[in-house]
Structure 1
Amino acid sequence: MTPEQEQVIEEQQALLEESANMYTGEMEPETKTVEPPKTPEYIEVANGVPAGPGGPVMGAPVSRSAWSTGLFSCLGSQDEFCSSDLEVCIVGTFIPCVLYGGNMERILPRRSSFGIHCLSYSSLYFLGNCLFNMNSLAPCFSYPSRTALRRKFNLEGTGEQIANTFGCCGSVIDDDESRECCESVLDCAVHVLCHPCALCQESRELRRRLPHPAFSRPAYLPQAPPMEQHMVLPMV
């Protein structure tokens, strides 16, 4: 090795030693370690039923609403439906078949619903009067309308009203299946024992809650007849 090469190597070693001495006092940058969040020993749970932003929580029990008028409120409650309540009382007394047909037309707004139920009621009305000299068959046919009305608007049944008033039969009301079976039997009993009053109460409730189906149907728009058309034969 020549003296020149040895000198170059010595200079390089000197530069390396100087650079090593410069970084000897510096420390390496510390790396920040993120500690995982500590899990609590127990989790606090809020008591009660949480309320949703749009209303009651799904699955929560819904309270039943009361009837607008009582069973024996034949003249209704002196409000804006006073004239309608008087009309219901008169129609239910003299032509109950028409009142029953109107009730079913509101509960089941289908085509010819009024005529079908009114005709069926009239047939049983005259048959009962011929056989038993009283309207005894039509109430047994018409009581499902009261059950359908209760279920449609979640109304209180007769058994529930008795239990809330006198504080009895609470165990039967707690069971949904037993309560519904008991309420259906009581609906039949109400129609058999107080048939005109039951029809009038149902009609008053429906008139306060639902408009007549004729007002909710779209208006008839007359259409112009098509223009005359002519066939043009091709030239031969």
Structure 2
Amino acid sequence: MYPSSQDAAKYAPQGYPMNIPERQPYHPPYIPSANGTAKWSTGLCHCCDDPANCLVTCMCPCVTFGQIAEIVNKGSISCAASGAVYGLLLGFTGLSCLYSCFYRSRLRGQHDLEEEPCVDCLVHFFCEPCALCQEYRELKNRGFDMGIGWQCNMDRQSRGITVAPAVASGMKR
């Protein structure tokens, strides 16, 4: 890890400047689709890209949903509160997808993502775990540390600390 530019002066040999690049927040490349919106950074069925999240989502989707909702709501509702509402809807009605599809729409609106492979409510109705995993990966790939919540992410960002983006291993063409 590089020291900050303020600390560089005290570590540099006398008379020699240390040219240390400032770290900038990661923003995935904007890849426009035909209608001017950006593509998702991962596909709907790429759950194996993050096996730990896939396991958590399959065993207890309210945890993943709560983390997504806190970031999408910009901290106005906590992870625990969103996850609890999701869990209650799932337990009593089985239709938690009606609640979570609105968060997918909000996420898409915030990041200008295309509505694919179909309408958000259908994606969540037929493929709820995959949709939650994709949304989680999207936020993670955009530089959010999903485990610490909105406020800690903003504190890190204000201090200039960013999370390194997730990079796929191996060469792909």
Q: Where on the TM-score scale, by shorter chain, does this alignment land: which range? A: 0.5 to 0.7
Q: TM-score, normalised by structure 2?
A: 0.62
Alpha carbons of 1:65 and 1:114: their partners in 2 closer, same or farther (altered >3 Å)?
A: same
Q: Which is higher, the Rg of structure 1 or of structure 2?
A: 1
Q: Which runs of 4+ in 1 moved over 6 A?
A: none
Residues of 2 paired with 1:199 and 1:112: CA distance? 18
Pairwise CA RMSD of aligned residues? 2.0
**Count of matched residue positions in the alignment of Structure 1 and Structure 2:** 118
* Aligned AA (1:100): F
- The corresponding residue for 1:215 is 153
Residues of 2 paired with 1:71 and 1:211: CA distance? 19
- The corresponding residue for 1:67 is 40
8 A contact 1:106–1:210 mirrored in 2: no
Q: TM-score, normalised by structure 1?
A: 0.46
Task: Give the fraction of aligned pairs with identical amino acids, expressed as a percent.
Answer: 34
Residues of 1 paired with 2:106 and 2:76: CA distance? 18
Q: 2:104 aligns with which of 146, 164, 177?
A: 146
- The corresponding residue for 2:58 is 93
Q: CA deviation at 1:215?
A: 3.4
Mark the runs of 5 or more structure 1 residues left unpaired by the alignment.
Answer: 1-61, 77-84, 129-135, 162-182, 219-236
DSSP-derived class of the 1:110 partner = coil
Residues of 1 paired with 2:120 and 2:143: CA distance? 21
- The corresponding residue for 1:106 is 71
Residues of 2 paired with 1:215 and 1:150: CA distance? 20
* Aligned AA (2:105): T
Matches within 5 A, 1:25-174: 63-76=36-49, 85-128=50-93, 136-158=94-116
DSSP-derived class of the 2:47 partner = coil
Residues of 1 paired with 2:72 and 2:41: CA distance? 17
Mark the runs of 5 or more structure 2 residues left unpaired by the alignment.
Answer: 1-34, 157-173
